[in-house]
Structure 1
Amino acid sequence: MLYYPMWIRPSRLLRVLSQRGGRVMGLDVGDRFVGVAVSDESNTVARGIKTLEKMIERKEFSRRAPNHPGGARRPLREKDINTFAKEFERLMKDNKVFAVVVGLPNHVDGSLSEQSRRTSRFVTKLLRYSPYMRRVPLYWQDESHSSQLARETLSSRGIRAATRQKKVLDAVSAEHILQRFLTRHAAS
């Protein structure tokens, strides 16, 4: 069964949330991690807060391959969706989130990419297992170049390349996705 969350015009949503103190959450869904950002109470500024693991290492494999000089990573498996949904709902409730914006990586011509399809399938699955998320408006936002902007942002903040881990990058990417949504709909 497909779940369709409620929909409200974004500009109206931001006005209502600003009056009532609700926030908007932005997501950057990747293959292994989901970057999370939330808006401030006035819904004008986004801030990356966390990166949730979507994929985890399989425990039945050893940490390093015996014949490989640098070792090998453990194979990955998808995290239990119930566990992820509970973790996600807790994060939404703790931050008083009343709307979610998901970055969608489209091609330059606007057509859906394979990653867009994977993102859409993951969000649909999350909606199925998260009753709280089904009650809030869900929006899709083009996330073109968000990872590149995140790298530039981290570099401008003085964070060296060695410390720019994928987890940090995904949270900052989510910040850019949410900020683009907030900026686009604040004036309309």
Structure 2
Amino acid sequence: MRILGLDVGDKRIGIAISDPMGWTAQGIETLKRQSKEKDLARLVELIHTYEVDTIVCGLPRNMNGTYGPKAEETRRFGDKLQEHFQIPLIYWDERLTTVSAQKTLLQGDVSRAKRKEVVDKIAAVFILQNYLDARAKS
């Protein structure tokens, strides 16, 4: 079984998946948000295709650790996922993951247009990999 990592945004959802052993995270895609129904339908496909048993959803926090309006939106989305899929959903601190993803893409000399297409997917990889690393240490 695998773990699905999500970086949920207003316009896009970055999606990553763990390897079957739960050691590494790989980016799958950046889902351009259309509607809740279409977004959920695509996630259903991915969950079945990869035999996902857990979802890790990045939770935006302010730098001082507090939660703002984006965190509440993410929690509402996560609640819908849990209702729909009936599998465990874990929220994971996503502070600075998009910044790290941007830096990684800049270091790789990825064009601005291409960065916009993949930054959310790379952020989902960072979220999921951070979770996997923390789980391995415990």
Same fold (TM over 0.5): yes
Which ranges of 4 or more aligned residues in structure 1 deviate by more than 6 Å? none
Q: CA shift at 1:154, angstroms?
A: 1.5
Give the aligned length.
138
Displacement of 1:108: 1.7
Alignment of 1:111-150 (within 5 A): 111-128=66-83, 130=84, 133-134=85-86, 136-150=87-101
Q: Which residue of 2 aligns with 1:172?
A: 122
Distance in structure 1 (CA, Å) of the matches to 2:126 and 2:59: 12
In the alignment, structure 1 residue 98 sits paired with structure 2 residue 48:
no
As a proportion of its length, which structure holds more helix?
A: 2
Superposed displacement of residue 42, structure 1: 1.7
State the structure with more CA Rg: 1
Q: 2:7 — aligned with what? A: 28
Q: Secondary structure of 1:44's match? A: coil
- Structure 1, gaps ≥5 residues long: 1-21, 57-78
RMSD (CA atoms): 1.4
* Counterpart check, 1:53 vs 2:32: yes
Deviations 1:57-109 (A, max 9, x none): xxxxxxxxxxxxxxxxxxxxxx1x22221211111111121110000011122
Deviates most, 83-92 or 143-152? 83-92
What is aligned with 1:157? 108
- TM-aligned CA deviation for residue 121 of structure 1: 1.3
Asked if the contact 2:54–2:88 (Cα under 8 Å) also holds between the matched residues in 1, the reply is yes
Identity %: 33
Counterpart CA distance in 2 for 1:84 and 1:163 is 22
> Where does residue 75 of structure 1 map in the other structure?
none
Alignment match, 1:181: 131
Compared CA separation, residues 39 and 100, structure 1 to 2 (3 A): same
Distance in 2 (alpha carbons) for counterparts of 1:31 and 1:161: 20
